[in-house]
Amino acid sequence: MFTPKRFGAYLLIFTLCFFSSCNSNNITTDASLQKYFDQYHVTGTFGLFNNGQAQFTVYNLRRFTDSAYLPASTFKIVNSLVGLQTGVISTEKMVIPWDGVVRDNADWNKDLTMEEAFKLSAVPYYQEVARRIGIDTMQRWLDSLGYAAKYGRAVIHNDIDMFWLNNDIKITADEQLGLVKKLYFDQLPFQKRVQYVVKKVMQQEENANYKLSYKTGWGYRENGNSIGWIVGWEEENRHPYFFVLQIEGPHDMDMKTARLSILKNILTQYGFFKGQK
């Protein structure tokens, strides 16, 4: 029977396998991961794509393929790519001076380079980048990428410095996975130098066993619930494994702790971080 769940799985297969050979037999659902979400009293989804074997493992498949949410600061990936490509950002060392507005996050209250702003997820820095890019140019790049277009064209209205935060555009977890997979392999329509810089600033951890690269996101749905993301890849022995974690919980939850803990618990369960993949 052709059910909505099966249709979502087919869409996911197409997204993941555009550059490789795989089929529905390569998708495994893993309900055992629910315990990590329950630990923090959140709902959500997780997907892991083993690129070498074209094997996809997912918790909550329907949410992964069929539910779209604001990208929040995961949009800094695209904002960085467009900024570098257009010259709005010269290099990852480019400084944008602090605007003098004191914000709750003290790390943002200073001059920042692009690299620092990316790792600190500094909203004001990237709001200024978006303003310098402008609505028309940013929209052309969103259209070119097909960004957040699964349920219709993602349109920027008048809020060039807020559209990724205010629920104007929404993206699915499988779209996020497709984006980072293409970025890793330099398959996005940007110069290789541009993609290299963004991949470099995404790297968060590196040691003899593994490299862990990701971008986080945190925003709020229209109903006030917190939405959190971590999108990226883990690399061992030069083999990449792409992942997307998306969680939803109460407005005042400790999102920073919950999302990273859930991600690392899941990856640990799957045997990562040992250099044996």
3 state SS of 45: strand
Q: What is the dihedral of CA 159, 87, 153, 179, to 10 degrees?
A: -120
Instruction: Give the pLDDT score at 4.
Output: 46
Instruction: Give the pLDDT score at 7.
Output: 47
Instruction: Confirm if 123 and 73 have CB atoms less than 8 A apart.
Output: yes
**Could you say which of 20, 67, 73, 261 is catalytic?**
73
pLDDT at residue 224 greater than cutoff 50: yes
pLDDT at residue 17 greater than cutoff 80: no
Which amino acid would we find at residue 213? Answer: S
Query: Which residues sit opposite 149 in a β-bridge?
Result: none
> Cα separation of 215 and 73, whole Å?
8
Give the chain's count of helices (H) and strands (E): 10, 11
Number of other CB atoms surrounding residue 273 within 10 Å:
17
Regarding predicted confidence, which is higher, 1 or 206? 206
What are the CA-CA distances from residue 173 to residues 16, 58, 70, 71 (Å)? 12, 11, 11, 10
- E strand or H helix that includes residue 141: helix 135-145
Instruction: Give the pLDDT score at 161.
Output: 98
Q: Is 73 a catalytic residue?
A: yes
Query: Which residues sit opposite 232 in a β-bridge?
Result: 214, 243
Number of other CB atoms surrounding residue 216 within 10 Å:
22
Q: Is 121 exposed, middle or buried (0-12, 13-18, 19+ CB in 10 A)?
A: buried
> Cα separation of 66 and 174, whole Å?
9
3: Cβ contacts below 8 Å, ≥ 6 apart: none
> Cα separation of 180 and 161, whole Å?
23
pLDDT band at 10 (very low <50, low <70, confident <90, very high): low
Instruction: Give the pLDDT score at 104.
Output: 96
pLDDT at residue 19 greater than cutoff 80: no
Q: What is the DSSP string of 73-127?
A: GGGHHHHHHHHHHHTSS-STT-EE---S---SSGGGSS-EEHHHHHHHT-HHHHH
pLDDT at residue 23 greater than cutoff 90: no
**Residues 243-260 as b or e (16 or more Cβ within 10 Å = b):** bbbbbbbeeebebeebbb
